[in-house]
Chains A and B, each alone.
Chain A
Amino acid sequence: MAQQQYTPYPPAGDTSGAVLAIRNLSVEVIGGGQRVVRNLSLDVHAGETVCVVGESGSGKSVTSLAVMGLLPEGALRIAGGSARVEGEDVATASPRRLRELRATRMAMVFQEPMTALNPVHTVGRQVDEVLRLHRRMPSAERRQRVLDMFRSVHLPDVERLYDAYPHQLSGGQRQRIVIAMALILEPRLLIADEPTTALDVTTQKQILALIRELQQKHRTAVLFITHDFGVVAEIADRIVVMNRGDLVEAGTRDDILARPGQPYTRRLVSAVPSLVPVDRPAPRGEPVLRVQGLGRIYADRRALWRGAGRRVVAAADVDLTLRKGEILGIVGESGSGKSTVARCIVRLIEPSAGRMLLGGDDIAALSGAALRPLRRRIQIVFQDPYRSLNPRRTVGDSIIEGLLNFGMSRSQALARAADTLGVVGMSPDAMRRYPHQFSGGQRQRICVARALVMDPEVLVADEAVSALDVSVQAQVLELLEQVRRRTGVGVLFITHDLRVAAQICDTIAVMQRGRVVETGAAATVLTRPSHDYTRALIDAAPGRGWDFRNFRPLAAGATPTGV
């Protein structure tokens, strides 16, 4: 690929004015000499948000770690170039100086707030510690300062929260604490590495707004690392696209999203799912699966006295109808019960109430040996392609396992597995290899093949594309679409991402706190939602103002909610 020469503005060499100025930065693997970041140059100015976007392995996180001086010791090192924070080069700074810089000039927010906080100290004490180490202040004043900071990140009831432990807070609250900790010394540069990826969309929206607000208040320069073009469309002033360690393209948000110059960027942007539902005919097949009044209660069995245990209703009164050849999406945030429903349907767990009619049989009532014939008819694909295949068995053995269970001969099963691998776009040679030899996308195809080889009537895809990069995600979605058309299998597609659901689902059921709050044709649910929660979800979906596929912002009136 032709590398576009990056011309940072102001021109290379002149780093005045930029809070962060990276020039020709290279990071290499110690020992191997392989470079994971090559000749990267970029500027971040005060009050500006620069998004570094790329797929996994693009070097975006390594860049952020290099700037913070946090490259894993003994594994990676800066091989050349400079990264100046307010004129001071972190590549040559002493470890002691780096520690000072990290506290006062630059700060970082990580993806997972639970691991960024110490579980055995109260959050107030942890934020206070930052002040104690770097500011001479009486403790009463410090406490006041921490409470003020908590208020400014919009935490509720700050006095009580000061003495809370991380596990007592919600994910969003924890991330607010981490942001408070990062910003309490008023750094000039904030590096945020996928800070909202682990959060629900509604929480994500609040956190993004918070970062924006604080940035405007303090004129902080923000380097924002993300894989999500939706988030980029929401917050970026300028965008830097990276691929395998190289800077592919850089420019303003509208440049990159509407007029990408490089083919790689074009491909990447056009693969981003947008909230615009795809026009598709209503499914008219026979119903293959009818779920009626499905419920699942988790009871705390450790309770000493009966009845005293805590009961959690994970799902209640769930009604769903899946037709032949239909893709039915179940959408909801974490804890909405969507995965519980999926696992009940595959009978990995037992439902506590309700009926599930597969053809004429109520599969909710079966158990033990009577369940086995059912296994053939309902299959599942999981979220994490790295853990869904037994690492000790060859791909072929994994795929034919189910067929052998139902009495097929080994040679027949192998032939069928080879066919099915063809269906998912892989060569039959894959069968003799082990899962670790494949990429995430390839593994997910193998998982789809393992499910399809059983010739199921229902395929449950539980967040099956959530762990994949956008371009791979688009391929797997395309694969599911083809499979549905070819085999007429009914697909139950569980996802937290409305944008993905908009791309592939015929029908969408929205779940909240264990209940289905809205069901309908995808186009209806997404454009004329009737439930408040659905509206909130659509409203929070990042990048909903952009039609990525066609490289244009959506006209104001055409935003999906119409609000």
Chain B
Amino acid sequence: MPPHTDALPDAALPDAQPAPSGAWRRLRHELKSPPVLLALAVLLLVAATALLAPWLGTVDPTALNPGSRLKPPFAGFLLGTDAFGRDVWSRVAYGARVSLAAGLGAAVVSVATGLVIGVLAGWFRWLDGPIMRTMDAIMAIPGILLAIALVSVTGASLTTVLVAITLPEIPRVVRLVRGQILSVRGEPYVEAALALGTPLPLLLWRHLVPSTVAPLTVQGTYVFASAMLTEAILSFLGAGIPPEIPSWGNIMSEGRMYFRMLPGLILFPGLFLSLTVLSVNLLGDALRDALDPKMARRL
């Protein structure tokens, strides 16, 4: 008897469709809300400022001009000058480069490192204990203190500051990835792939890592925002970016002395910083709502 005759009637097929597109649909929905659009616009503006800093009416942000110290804003200098006569607008525009680089760098590096470590911890049971205890230890130290300690040991340079603000973010990513891997590794489709002889690296890449993409994207935006803040705090405390490189943090730090005379020295970089962080967080929330409908508020 031929094996595939009418004995098996339920072979009516649905139409070919693209992969589950719910996330994209929800993302488009999220993008329509005004706060999210505004946040996107702010981010684009800040990014453009950073990229195009040399062409936005700026001068050399490190050029000292003793002749025009502590000038008020909107009088010859857009945002005024600081105690050394440096143009504040130029410093803020160039500072955007450092802040965004710090945020983006920390987000990318911590997500990438955390992904690798998290997958290892989630898959290899014998690695789980040592890795997670190490992460617990890192998390037990307040991020700022850890960063200050790192910077004071190795000396302040852009690289060490980046390392110092990235390191405290890694454990959170590792926990997230590990949890996701643990919940997916028991799925029958993973076991089926194992039974089909799929080599381990391919198995991890194909069947386990994709499930971490959505939560990692969201986590990445939060790291972005928090790293920018950490960088500013470090610079403000004098333990961050070397003073010769302008960053929002050290502009504010240097402006602190003259706050009563010229509030703009702190207000302008501060405004840029808070708007950027707020926008990134808003975007992160929108992403979370789109990618993780269970967490989303009711529409």
Contacts and interface: CB of A to CB of B under 8 A. Distances in A.
- The finding on whether chains A and B are genuine partners in a shared complex, rather than unrelated, reads yes
Interface of A: 346, 348, 372, 375-376, 378-380, 382-384, 387-393, 398, 401-402, 405-406, 422-427, 429-430, 432-434, 436-439, 441-442, 445, 447, 450, 454, 472, 475, 478-479, 482-483, 486
B3 interface: yes
B17 A437 contact: yes
Interface string B1-43: 1011001111101101101100000000000000000000000
Contacts of B13: 426-427, 429-430, 433
A430 B10 CA distance: 13
A401 B195 CA distance: 11
Contacts of B292: none
B194 interface: yes
Nearest to A431: B16
A375 B199 CA distance: 11
A486 B3 contact: yes
B299 to A, nearest CB: 11
A453 to B, nearest CB: 9
B18 to A, nearest CB: 8
Contact of A382 (B9, B14, B191, B199): B191
16 contacts: A348-B195, A375-B194, A375-B195, A388-B189, A391-B20, A392-B19, A405-B197, A423-B4, A427-B11, A433-B13, A433-B16, A434-B17, A434-B20, A475-B8, A475-B9, A482-B1
**Interchain residue pairs A-B with the least CB separation, the first 7:** A425-B8, A375-B197, A402-B196, A382-B188, A388-B188, A437-B14, A390-B189
Contacts of A390: 189, 193, 206-207
A472 B195 CA distance: 25
A393 B7 CA distance: 29
B210 interface: yes
A389 B196 CA distance: 13
A388 to B, nearest CB: 4
Contact of B196 (A391, A401, A423, A445): A401
Interface string B157-201: 000000000000000000000000000000111011111111100
B197 A478 contact: no
Contact of A346 (B11, B189, B195): B195
A454 to B, nearest CB: 7
Nearest to B298: A74
B10 A439 contact: yes
B193 A401 contact: yes
A434 B4 contact: no
B188 A372 contact: no
A97 B219 CA distance: 47
B153 to A, nearest CB: 36
- Give the interface centre of A372, A434, A486 by most chain B CB atoms within 10 Å: A434
Contacts of B3: 423, 425, 482-483, 486
Given A423-B3, A439-B10, 7 more contacts: A372-B199, A401-B196, A406-B197, A475-B7, A475-B9, A475-B10, A478-B7
Nearest to B202: A405
A348 B16 contact: no
Nearest to B17: A437
A479 B1 CA distance: 12
B9 to A, nearest CB: 8
A234 to B, nearest CB: 29
Contact of A450 (B7, B17, B20, B192): B192
Given A388-B192, A433-B17, A442-B10, A372 B197 contact: yes
A391 B214 CA distance: 15
A447 B192 contact: yes
Contacts of A482: 1, 3, 7
Interface residues of B, number: 30
A348 B7 CA distance: 34
Contacts of A387: 187-189
B20 A479 contact: no
A475 B202 CA distance: 34
A478 B8 contact: yes
A390 B208 CA distance: 10
B192 A479 contact: no
Contacts of A427: 11, 13
Contact of B16 (A432, A454, A475): A432
A346 B17 CA distance: 34
A375 B196 contact: yes
Interface string B33-62: 000000000000000000000000000000
Given A401-B193, A454-B196, A422 B4 contact: yes
A479 B191 contact: no
- Give the interface centre of B10, B193, B194 by most chain A CB atoms within 10 Å: B10
Contact of B189 (A389, A436, A439): A389
A475 B6 CA distance: 11
- Give the interface centre of B3, B17, B206 by most chain A CB atoms within 10 Å: B3
A405 B196 contact: yes
Contacts of B10: 425, 439, 441-442, 472, 475
A380 B195 contact: yes
B194 A348 contact: yes
Contacts of B197: 372, 375-376, 402, 405-406
Contacts of B202: 405
- Give the interface centre of B9, B17, B195, B197 by most chain A CB atoms within 10 Å: B195
Nearest to A437: B14
Contacts of B14: 433, 437-438
Contact of B8 (A401, A430, A450, A479): A479
A405 B198 contact: yes
A387 B207 CA distance: 12
A348 B3 CA distance: 31
Nearest to B198: A405
B15 to A, nearest CB: 8
Nearest to A479: B8
Contacts of B187: 387
A434 B192 contact: no
A526 B1 CA distance: 29
Given A402-B196, A436-B20, A425 B191 contact: no
Given A392-B210, A433-B16, A475-B10, A424 B195 contact: no
Nearest to A388: B188
A430 B4 CA distance: 15
B3 to A, nearest CB: 5
Contacts of A434: 17, 19-20
A425 B4 contact: yes
A346 B3 CA distance: 27
Interface string B210-243: 1000000000000000000000000000000000
Contacts of B4: 422-425
A454 B196 CA distance: 8
Contacts of A405: 196-199, 202
Contacts of A424: 4, 8
